Amino acid sequence: MGYKIVRKEELIPGQTTMMVIDAPQIAKKAKPGNFVMIRTSEHGERIPLTIADCDKENGTITIVYLVVGKTTAELNKLQQDCELLDVCGPLGKPTHIENSGTVVCVGGGTGIAAMHHIAKGHVEAGNRVIAIVGARSKNLLLFCTELSSFCPELRIATDDGSEGHKGFVTEVLKDILETEDEVAEVVAIGPVPMMEAVCKVTEPFGTKTTVSLNSIMVDGIGMCGACRCTVGGKTLFACVDGPEFDGHKVDFAELKTRLWQFKKQEEESMELFSKECQCNG
């Protein structure tokens, strides 16, 4: 039995897609911060995707992905009512959420989708949430409408100034930290350089900062060791020890190196896939 795609929507044409998947058992237990491992076909690889939202009543989970390699390209060829072979989850440790006061949630790229789920969890816990989203331009922003539906304080930053603040999310964040009386926590999810930059901004303020590591995963259950990362001088696994960690303790230099480790193989795989599509087309 596969997992039916009940809705598919291109959020950014040719780049970013949202899928709503029928997975009642996962939806029943999924919490903010959890992820799933997905396999599109019998011979496909497993990839991790963070749960962007879940509907326990209707038994669905929402994922958002950027088409960057063979597997996401294969995933993107599936249409509404098609089925995924495997959806394993919920995996990882859920976000630690408690009523703590003001929480700033920062999202960039597809990380905005994952941040959306976490921000909703903090609002439901009674926290005041300030959401910051960033992109290169207005047409690349995600989940602004969804965030605005439950989070009255939404700040936007775009590189070109086409929407909100002209500049980076870190500039908006620094302004908030300088003007707010007390920020209990900053949560950052997005590209590694963005999360690292957020941590550099919050460190002088002594503000607790949580990041979600998007390291390479193979099985998602702690057996392969592919997602290992160094946090506080210790080797941990993003799939079972995380994916969220204290951002001030993460070795970002090592993380960036490991993310690029298989770049050549990934490019070759995508090239072969493109050629196969052209031949079959």
For 99-140, write each residue's pLDDT tens digit.
999 999 999 989 999 999 999 999 999 999 999 999 999 999
**Each residue's pLDDT tens digit, 58-94:** 999 999 999 888 889 899 999 999 999 999 999 999 9
pLDDT of the chain, 281 residues: tens digit per residue: 689 999 999 999 888 999 999 999 999 999 999 999 999 988 888 999 999 999 999 999 999 999 888 889 899 999 999 999 999 999 999 999 999 999 999 999 899 999 999 999 999 999 999 999 999 999 999 999 999 999 989 999 999 999 999 999 999 999 999 999 899 999 999 999 999 999 999 999 999 999 999 888 888 888 888 899 999 999 999 999 999 999 999 999 999 988 877 677 676 776 776 766 655 65
Strands (E), the chain: 3-12, 16-22, 35-39, 47-55, 60-66, 83-84, 86-91, 102-108, 128-135, 153-158, 165-166, 185-189, 209-212, 228-231, 234-237, 244-246
pLDDT score, position 270: 67
pLDDT score, position 222: 86
Domains 3-91 and 95-212 share a fold: no
Measured N-to-C along each axis, helices 70-77 and 263-280 cross at an angle, to the nearest 10 degrees, of 30
Q: Give the CATH fold of the 95-212 domain.
A: Rossmann fold (3.40.50)
Q: Which of 126, 80, 85 is nearest to 103 (CA)?
A: 126
The neighbour count for residue 75, using CB atoms within 10 Å, is 25
CA-based end-to-end distance of the chain: 28
Backbone angles phi, psi at 13, to 5 degrees: -50, 125
Six-digit token string for 278: 């052209």
Residue numbers in the known binding site are 224, 227, 239
pLDDT score, position 226: 87
CA atoms within 13 A on the CB side of 237: 14
Q: Which of 30, 191, 175, 204 is nearest to 104 (CA)?
A: 175
Secondary structure (3-state) at 150: coil
pLDDT score, position 41: 86
Residue numbers in the known binding site for [2Fe-2S] cluster are 224, 227, 239
Q: Which of 210, 164, 218 is nearest to 184 (CA)?
A: 210
CA distance 43 to 133: 36
Specify the CATH class of 3-91 in words. mainly beta
